[in-house]
Amino acid sequence: MSAYIALADGRVVEGRSRAPGTGRGELVFTTAYTGYEESLTDPSYAEQALTFSYPLIGNYGVREERFESDSVQPRVAVAHEFTDDVADWLEREGIPAIDAVDTRDLVTSIREQGAMRCGVAAGPDATPEQAKAQLEQCVEMSEHTDIGAQVSVDEPQVYEGNGLTVALLDCGAKQSIVDSLTARDAEVHVLPYDSTPEEVAAVEPDLVFVSNGPGDPANFEAAGEVVDEFAGELPIAGICLGQQVVARSLGGETEKMEFGHRGLNQPVRDLETDRVIMTTQNHGYSVADPGELAVTQVNVNDGTAEGLEGVGIDVITRQYHPEANPGPHDSLDFFDDVLEMAENHAPAVASD
Query: What residue segments make up the domains of the chain, in order of their start?
Result: 2-139, 147-343
Annotation says 64 is catalytic: no
Question: Based on the number of CB atoms within 10 Å of its own CB, is 38 exposed (0-12), middle (13-18) or buried (19 or more)?
Answer: buried
Q: Which CATH number fits domain 2-139: 3.50.30.20, 3.30.450.40, 3.40.50.300, 3.40.980.10?
A: 3.50.30.20
Annotation says 129 is catalytic: no
Torsions phi, psi for 269 (to 5 deg): -110, 130
At residue 349, the pLDDT reads 46
From the candidates 189, 240, 261, 306, give the one annotated as an active-site residue. Answer: 240
Assigned CATH topology for domain 147-343: Rossmann fold (3.40.50)
Torsions phi, psi for 39 (to 5 deg): -65, -45
pTM for the full predicted model:
0.96
At residue 352, the pLDDT reads 40
Q: Extract the residue ranges of the chain whose pLDDT is less than 50.
A: 349-352
Cβ–Cβ < 8 Å for 335, 179: no
Sheet of 315-318, strands arranged across: 157-159, 187-192, 165-170, 207-210, 236-239, 315-318, 305-309, 294-299, 253-270, 276-289
At residue 327, the pLDDT reads 83
Annotation says 171 is catalytic: no
Closest by Cα among 165, 173, 140 to 69: 173
Closest by Cα among 104, 95, 103, 108 to 17: 95
Cβ neighbours for 274, distance < 8 A, ≥ 6 positions apart: none
Q: Which residues are annotated as a binding site?
A: 44, 213, 215, 241, 244, 282, 284-285
Using the Cα atoms of residue 296, residue 268, residue 142 and residue 9 in order, give the sign of their dihedral. Answer: positive
Stretch (H or E) spanning 298: strand 294-299
User: To 10 degrees, what angle do helices 241-249 and 221-230 make?
Assistant: 60
Task: Give the model confidence (pLDDT) of 201-240 as tens digits.
Answer: 999 999 999 999 999 999 999 999 999 999 999 999 999 9
At residue 347, the pLDDT reads 65
HSE of 322 in the Cβ direction (CA atoms, 13 Å)?
26
Q: Which residues are annotated as a binding site for L-glutamine?
A: 44, 213, 215, 241, 244, 282, 284-285
From the candidates 144, 189, 283, 321, give the one annotated as an active-site residue. Answer: 321
